[in-house]
C-alpha cells in the first residue's frame, strides 16, 4: 500500500508528516479565460470575500459552497469527494487537519507556486503548512488565545481580569460568590481543540519525530497539568459544562449567568454577532498563563488545492488573493461576523481598521491579538492522523459530564487511540 511505502519526513521547525504523493502545482497549465474555481469553506465572512473576488476578476470566477466545519461535516465530505474524484479545486483546512489530508495524498504540492509569497509569513506560521519539506497550503489567519469577559459585571463586583491560572480560579470563586447561578467560563465537553490549545500554551508537545518514527505525547506532563486544573474547576462547580456554541451556552450569556469565555481572537466576531444587546459590556484580556505570558493557537484556517484539480494555476491565484489581499480582508471583516487575525503581519492594520470594535467599548482588540500572537509557544507539531485523534478525544470528553471518565483520563484514551491508528497506517511509533 502507498501509505506503507511512504516515509516520515521532518519539516520546518520540527513539523513532521507522512509525505504522500500529490499533483505538482507548478506543472499545471495557465488559467484560461473564464476559468471557474470551485471552493468549499465555512469561515465567517467567506461569502463576502468571494463576492468581492468575483466582482474584481474577469478571467477567474469562484463558485463557492458553504459546508459545515468539523470532522463529521466538511472534512468527511471532502475526503469522500477526493475518493470519488469530484473534490473542489480549493478547500479550507484548519492547521490541525492539514497533515491528515496531506498524508492521504488529497492535496497538491504548492511549493513552486507560492514561493513568491512565502517570505510574507512568519516562520512559526508557515511551518504549519510546510510538511515534509513541501508547502501544501497557504495560511489565512493565526488564532492566538484570549479571554473574553463581562467588564461591567467584573467591575461591579470588584473582580479583576485574571492574569494567571491561579488568578482565574480565584476569580471563578468570586463570580460564583457574587451570583450563585453565574460562572466565569465553560468547559466544552465536545471540543478537544480547546484542550489542545491550552496544552500548547502550557508547553505541551503532542507530536514529534525520532528518526523514522512518530513520537506521541498527548498525555505529557504539561497536558496533564492542564487537564488536572480543569478537572478541578469542573469538580468544584466553578465552570459550566456545556457544548460549544450551543443554544444553552448562548442563553447563559444572555441571562448573565456566564461572565467569560476562554477562546481565541475569532471569538470576538462570534460574540459580537450573537449578543448584540450586550454591546459595550464586554472586554478582552490575554488568556491567563502559568506564570509567563504565553498562548497556543485555537483553530486557524488554511487553503489547499485538491489533488484532482484541473485548474491549479487559477486555484493558486484564488488562494493568494483570499489570504493576502487587502480587499479580501476588508470584505471579510466588514461583514461584521469575522474578527480574523491575518497570518501576514502587514495586513493586521487593515484588519484592525475594518473590524468595528464598538461591542468591546472601542478597545484596540487587534493590538491585544498582536501581543498574544507574539507569545505563541514555538515547536508545536500536529500529528498525521488528527481527524481520528480529535474524534476519539471528543468521544472520551463527552463522558466527563456524567463522571464516567475524567479530563486527565481522556488524554490517556486519545494517546492510546492515536498510537493504534498511526501503527495501523503502517507508520512507526517511537517507544515512550
Instruction: Note the pTM of the prediction, 2 decimals.
Output: 0.88
The rounded distance, in Å, linking the Cα atoms of 167 and 161 is 8
Residues of the chain with pLDDT under 50: 1-32
* Residues forming beta bridges with residue 207, ordered by sequence position: 216
Is the Cβ–Cβ distance between 184 and 171 less than 8 Å? yes
Q: What angle do CA 73, 75, 79 make, to 5 degrees?
A: 120
pLDDT value of residue 107: 97
Check: CATH 3.30.230.10 for 2-141+299-343? no
pLDDT value of residue 70: 67
* Residues forming beta bridges with residue 138, ordered by sequence position: 303
Q: Is 2-141+299-343's fold the same as 145-296+380-429's?
A: yes
The rounded distance, in Å, linking the Cα atoms of 410 and 427 is 23
pLDDT value of residue 72: 60
The rounded distance, in Å, linking the Cα atoms of 90 and 107 is 10
Query: Parallel, antiparallel, or unpaired for β 60-66 and 207-210?
Result: unpaired
Is the Cβ–Cβ distance between 152 and 162 less than 8 Å? no
- CATH number of the domain located at residue range(s) 145-296+380-429 in this protein: 3.40.190.10
Domain limits, the chain: 2-141+299-343, 145-296+380-429
Residues found in the chain: 432
pLDDT value of residue 212: 87
The rounded distance, in Å, linking the Cα atoms of 398 and 44 is 27
Amino acid at each position: 500500500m502507498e501509505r506503507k511505502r511512504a516515509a516520515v519526513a521532518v519539516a520546518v521547525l520540527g513539523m513532521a508528516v507522512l509525505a504522500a504523493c500529490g499533483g505538482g502545482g507548478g506543472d499545471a497549465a495557465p488559467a484560461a479565460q473564464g476559468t471557474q474555481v470551485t471552493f468549499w469553506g465555512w469561515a465567517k465572512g467567506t461569502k463576502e470575500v468571494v463576492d468581492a473576488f468575483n466582482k474584481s476578476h474577469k478571467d477567474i470566477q469562484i463558485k463557492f459552497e458553504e459546508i459545515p466545519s468539523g470532522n463529521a461535516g466538511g472534512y468527511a465530505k471532502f475526503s469522500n469527494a477526493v475518493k470519488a474524484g469530484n473534490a473542489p479545486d480549493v478547500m479550507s483546512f484548519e492547521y490541525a487537519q492539514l497533515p491528515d489530508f496531506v498524508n492521504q495524498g488529497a492535496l497538491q504540492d504548492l511549493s513552486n507556486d507560492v514561493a513568491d509569497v512565502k517570505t510574507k509569513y512568519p516562520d512559526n506560521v508557515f511551518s504549519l503548512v510546510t510538511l515534509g519539506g513541501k508547502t501544501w497550503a497557504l495560511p489565512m489567519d493565526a488564532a492566538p488565545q484570549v479571554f473574553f469577559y463581562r467588564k461591567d459585571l467584573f467591575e461591579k463586583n470588584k473582580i479583576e481580569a485574571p492574569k494567571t491560572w491561579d488568578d482565574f480560579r480565584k476569580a471563578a470563586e468570586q463570580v460564583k460568590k457574587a451570583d450563585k447561578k453565574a460562572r466565569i467560563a465553560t468547559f466544552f465537553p465536545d471540543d478537544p481543540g480547546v484542550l489542545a490549545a491550552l496544552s500548547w500554551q502550557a508547553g505541551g508537545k503532542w507530536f514529534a519525530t525520532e528518526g523514522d518514527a512518530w513520537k506521541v505525547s498527548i498525555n505529557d506532563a504539561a497536558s496533564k497539568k492542564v487537564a488536572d486544573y480543569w478537572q478541578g474547576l469542573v469538580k468544584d462547580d466553578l465552570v459550566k459544562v456545556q457544548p460549544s456554541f450551543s443554544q444553552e451556552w448562548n442563553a447563559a450569556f444572555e441571562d448573565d449567568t456566564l461572565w467569560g469565555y476562554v477562546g481565541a481572537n475569532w471569538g470576538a466576531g462570534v460574540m459580537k454577532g450573537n449578543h448584540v444587546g450586550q454591546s459595550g459590556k464586554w472586554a478582552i484580556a490575554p488568556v491567563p498563563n502559568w506564570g509567563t505570558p504565553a498562548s497556543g493557537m485555537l483553530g486557524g484556517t488554511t487553503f489547499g488545492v485538491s489533488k484532482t484539480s484541473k485548474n491549479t494555476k487559477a486555484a493558486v491565484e484564488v488562494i493568494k488573493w483570499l489570504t493576502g489581499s487587502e480587499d479580501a480582508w476588508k470584505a471579510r471583516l466588514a461583514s461584521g461576523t469575522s474578527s480574523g487575525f491575518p497570518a501576514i503581519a502587514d495586513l493586521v492594520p487593515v484588519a484592525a481598521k475594518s473590524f468595528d470594535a464598538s461591542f468591546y467599548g472601542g478597545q484596540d482588540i487587534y493590538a491585544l491579538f498582536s501581543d498574544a500572537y507574539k507569545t505563541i509557544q514555538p515547536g508545536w507539531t500536529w500529528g498525521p492522523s488528527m481527524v481520528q485523534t480529535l474524534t476519539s478525544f471528543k468521544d472520551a470528553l463527552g463522558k466527563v459530564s456524567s463522571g464516567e471518565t475524567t479530563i486527565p483520563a481522556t488524554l490517556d484514551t486519545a494517546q492510546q487511540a492515536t498510537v493504534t491508528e498511526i501503527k495501523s497506517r503502517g507508520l512507526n511509533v517511537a517507544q515512550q
